[in-house]
Every structure is written in structure tokens, then in C-alpha cells.
Amino acid sequence: DAGITQSPRHKVTETGTPVTLRCHQTENHRYMYWYRQDPGHGLRLIHYSYGVKDTDKGEVSDGYSVSRSKTEDFLLTLESATSSQTSVYFCAISRDRGSYEQYFGPGTRLTVT
Amino acid sequence: DQQVKQNSPSLSVQEGRISILNCDYTNSMFDYFLWYKKYPAEGPTFLISISSIKDKNEDGRFTVFLNKSAKHLSLHIVPSQPGDSAVYFCAASAVGTYKYIFGTGTRLKVLA
């Protein structure tokens, strides 16, 4: 199994509060991704990183920001959480772009009340 | 605009029979395709992939077929086992991009 951990695994927060989710990898992979999984939508890309301090937006980036100051850590921040951001969040890593599969972390279940 | 579509939300198959999961895509620039399996409360796990230069890739009980002219791929599982019961996602990546587009998933139930 690829060395990917996510923290916290579960979180309940109130509308309007900031939330940061952490993804940590021990594989030294260059590419890291944040997805959300919702019923009827599958997995949708929020943001991704192609190197330290190099990030870009995915399909559903509004309301989210990311940071990557070290190869092993990729942080996802909800600046002001809303109920529509209640979801399961997955981090993924890949060795190189395109023709290399992504490996996923165990997920974080976030509930915004 | 859903570039990768899995039109069957669910599928039930008898143990020992073949399971066929389908995936359609619209972007002709996609050149690499993957299938993932996901159990409840776990992250997706990689199953099998195929490059656009091939039309078939096999790994044990799992075979992926790619029909580029129809923009269609399928995952065959033979024989199906109860442990294969999970949600299956297909994903596609375009040349020169860093990211994958996922379908909405198909829930497979293998009946014992």
C-alpha cells in the first residue's frame, strides 16, 4: 500500500468556520491531488499540485485553497465552511503525470452543520 | 459537462458469472484510462489501466477493453466473486495533463 495518510479522518464543524485537512505521503511522489466524493457525482478534482509550491485548480475549486510547502504534505483549506462542502475528501498521489496511476488515501469525512 | 460517463448506477451478477462494467467518454484527447474499486469507508484502489495505443489489457480475472472509435471502455471480471462487490470508477487522462476525470461510479453486487 502506498504511504498516504489523511488527518483528521472525521470532522464536524459549523458553518462559517475555517477547516484544514492534511494529506501526508511517504512515497516522495511529485503529484498530489484533492478530490471530493458526493453521491451522483463520483470523484471530482478540487485542486492538485505538481511540485512544492506549484498548485492549480480542478473542477470544483471555489471555496477551497491549497498549499504545499514540502513534498510530503498537501493541505486543503476551507476558508469559511458551508453546508455544501459536507462531503468525503480524498487525497491522492502519483509518481508522474498522465500514464501513472494515482494512489488514494483513506479519506476524511467532513460534516458542516 | 460530464466527460466520463458510467450510465449504469448499479449492477447485480451471480457469483461465478461475468461482470461487465461500462464507461463512455467524450474527449478524444484522453489517452490513458484506469479502473478503480472502492469499498465503503475506504479510499479507491487501483485495479487496471489501459493506454490508448492498446485495445485490451488483462490482469488475472480483470480485463479492460478500449474501443476508441466508439469512445467506450469496459471492465470484465471473470469469474465474479462476492468480494468483488464494490463501487467501480473509471477515469481518463488527456495527453500532457496532470489530472484524471472520473465517472460517477457503478455499484456492483455479486450474489452468492
**Are A45 and B45 inside 8 Å of each other by CB?**
no
In this prediction, residue A97 carries a pLDDT of 64
pLDDT single digits (tens) B44-100: 999 999 999 999 999 999 999 999 999 999 999 999 999 999 999 999 998 777 788
In this prediction, residue A96 carries a pLDDT of 74
How much of chain A exceeds pLDDT 90, in percent?
Answer: 85
Nearest C-alpha of chain A: how many angstroms from B110? 21
Q: Phi and psi at residue B64, in whole multiples of 5°?
A: -110, 135
pLDDT at A20 over 90: yes
CA distance A87 to A35: 10
pLDDT single digits (tens) A63-99: 999 999 999 999 999 999 999 999 999 999 988 765 5
CA distances to A4, B85, B95, B106 from A34, rounded to whole Å, are 12, 26, 21, 21
Q: Tell me the helix, strand and coil percentages in chain B, rounded to 5.
A: 5, 55, 40
Coil, strand or helix at B55? coil
Could you tell me the end-to-end alpha-carbon distance of chain A, in angstroms, rounded to an integer? 34
CA distance B49 to B46: 8
Which residues in chain B are contacts of A99 at CB distance < 8 A? 32, 51, 93
